[in-house]
Amino acid sequence: MIVHVLKRALEAGVAPAVVAAAEPEIVEAVEEAGGRAVLTDPALPSGSDRIHQALQQLDPQGEYDIIVNLQGDLPTLDPKLIPSVLEPLEDPEVDIATLVVEITEREERRNPNVVKAVCAFPEGERVARALYFTRASAPWDQEDERLPLYHHIGIYAFRRTALERFVALPPSPLEVRERLEQLRALEAGMRIAVALVDTLPLGVDTPADLERARALLAS
């Protein structure tokens, strides 16, 4: 799965594209496939900490000021979506950018495994400020499926200064309660913005998801 994610980053023109991994086996597999990987401390608590440590090794001089964190559990992500996560950073007030897609399956509206982004898009716009992220059904949909809910897609673009600030913060109360690390940034007053896209990649969270992803990639 990790190798497929690296290939999608390269297809999207993200350069340099590097895998930050805690396991030597993953580093070896990536390098055997012709990619580049960095071994990070397995004790790090999150993917954000992992990419920060990798960045310290790869770019100690601070040449790169924007970092895209494409997570390994999204192997079917369309490479065309990756540039979309950079769009919110055109606003200098935005610290972190990510993606959302409108929920179309009824059962996903109340599925706690589907993380929802609470946001409202201005008329005709596809970028909005993220007010909250939750596993609950939010905002209140009043049983009216015409009112959109947005599925969060776990890809992030950080300004380097924002990433450094984020990993220095302790876990926040809402982050711990919802098990969503992006809430740490919101609780600290950082600004997250989302870009609306039309394609939902398959996230690999269960053995069944893994089998589906393997079938999709094989086809």
- Looking at residue 1, its pLDDT comes to 45
Is residue 11 very low, low, confident or very high in pLDDT (cuts 50, 70, 90)? low
Pick 2-218's CATH classification: 1.10.287.3610, 2.60.15.10, 3.90.550.10, 3.30.450.20: 3.90.550.10
Residue 203 confidence (pLDDT) above 60? yes
For residues 164 and 218, the model is more confident at 164
What is the pLDDT of the chain when averaged over all its residues? 87
Higher pLDDT, 202 or 120: 120
Quote the CA–CA distance of 64 and 166 in Å, as a whole number.
17
Domain map of the chain by residue range? 2-218
DSSP notation for 29-86: HHHHTT--EEE--TT-SSHHHHHHHHHHHH-TT----EEEEE-TT-TT--GGGGGGGG
> What tens digit of pLDDT does each residue of 36-95 get?
899 999 998 888 999 999 999 999 998 899 999 988 777 777 888 889 999 999 999 999
At residue 187, does pLDDT exceed 80?
A: yes
